[in-house]
Amino acid sequence: MQSGHKVSVIIVNFRVKDVLRDCLLSLRSHAVSGMEVLIVDNASHDGSVEMVRAEFPEFQLIASNSNMGFSPANNVGMDACTGDLILLLNPDTIVEPGALQHWVDLHSVTKAGISGPKLLNADGSLQVSAWRIPGLLSSLLELFFLHRLFSTGNYPAETFNSDFSPECLSGAALLFDRAIYAKVGGLDPELFWMEDVDLCFRVSKAGYAVRYFHEPRITHLGGQSSKSNLNRVISNQLISRLKFASKHRNFLHVFVLHLVVFCHILSRVLLFHLLLPIAGLARAKAYRFTFVKYLRYLFLHDRSI
């Protein structure tokens, strides 16, 4: 079955020239009819812009003079695109043969509001890409190092062997109608590591279905732009929960979550400084950074990422 929709693929790039090239090559090889590709470069200064212009002239490039951040850059791409369907795709992905067309067809036939494909690790193993929306219980379990034991936010592994309706999907590969974007808006620029959760939540709240499709497959290398910046990873993982809760939950929920997150950060600061000979400086420094970031968020209303 062929879909009549035009698809706009939005890719935000930041200093990952080589993996971006592989991603664009896979898109060129496995394009769907009427597809446009927009690359938004966040001032990479690593040759990415020159590489795209020289090797992929058929794709549209938006080169920013500054690093806007992941969510704002995606929003710029969505504002500039023309497709009936919008596909947000990470640059560290490889599209498998036939995956895009199959995904677009399933999305249209099932009338999904927002959908995601099966993501695979580089070795071909399953990469979990759908979760329950994290709440107080999951944060509390993580505080006491029990989250891996109970896995309250995860679906059983066998769930990913069939299509289902999860609460939220990985932002590495998301497909939705332009009408959805017009109604609920784009990615929240104040969130990082929960911008995909927030978007899925808003789509679901507006009455549209969130769908995971197990047959279309995309390889996702994961974390290429940020894996070396532990300060940013940990601080945003924790503080974005508070930002999300302040948008969508009641006062009591937010208050209790603040207590849990504060205890989480403080306990890790103490723990990793005690374990310095074993754990090294990186995590100790990251949690010190996160503690300062949390205080700025709490008392100075600093909502930066």
Please tell me whether residues 245 and 213 are part of one structural domain.
no
Pair 168, 210: CB distance under 8 Å: yes
Same domain, 13 and 78: yes
On whether both 241 and 141 belong to a single domain, the answer is no
Q: Which pLDDT belongs to residue 16? A: 96
**Total domains present in the chain:** 2
pLDDT at 151: 77
Same domain (yes/no): 174, 268: no
Distance CA 89, CA 73 (A): 12
Do residues 149 and 169 both lie within one domain? yes
How large is the average pLDDT for residues 270-275?
Answer: 89
Do 198 and 238 fall into the same domain? no
- Say what the pLDDT of residue 172 is: 97
Q: Are residues 77 and 201 in the same domain?
A: yes
**Is 11 part of a structural domain of the chain?**
yes
| Residue 70 · residue 12 · CB < 8 Å | yes
* SS3 labels along 217-283: EEEECCCCCCCCCHHHHHHHHHHHHHHHHHHHCCHHHHHHHHHHHHHHHHHHHHHHHHCHHHHCHHH
- Boundaries of domain holding 279: 230-300
Residue 226 pLDDT level (bands cut at 50, 70, 90): low
Residue 1 lies in a domain: no
CA distance 12 to 171: 12
Let me know if residue 184 belongs to a domain.
Answer: yes
Do 256 and 186 lie in one domain? The reply is no
Q: Are residue 237 and residue 179 in the same domain, yes or no?
A: no
Torsion of CA 44, 47, 51, 54, to 10 degrees: 120
Looking at residue 275, its pLDDT comes to 85
Span 124-176, pLDDT tens digits = 999 999 999 999 999 999 999 998 888 788 999 999 999 999 999 999 999 99
Residue 280: pLDDT band (50, 70, 90) is low
Q: State the distance between the two ends of the chain, measured CA to CA, in whole angstroms.
A: 43
pTM score, two decimals? 0.94
Task: Tell me the pLDDT of the chain averaged across its residues.
Answer: 94
Q: Is 216 in the same domain as 236?
A: no
Residues 47 and 181 placed together within one structural domain of the fold: yes
Task: Please indicate, yes or no, whether residues 184 and 156 belong to a single structural domain of this protein.
Answer: yes
Is residue 5 very low, low, confident or very high in pLDDT (cuts 50, 70, 90)? low
Band the pLDDT of 281: cuts 50, 70, 90: confident
305 in any annotated domain: no
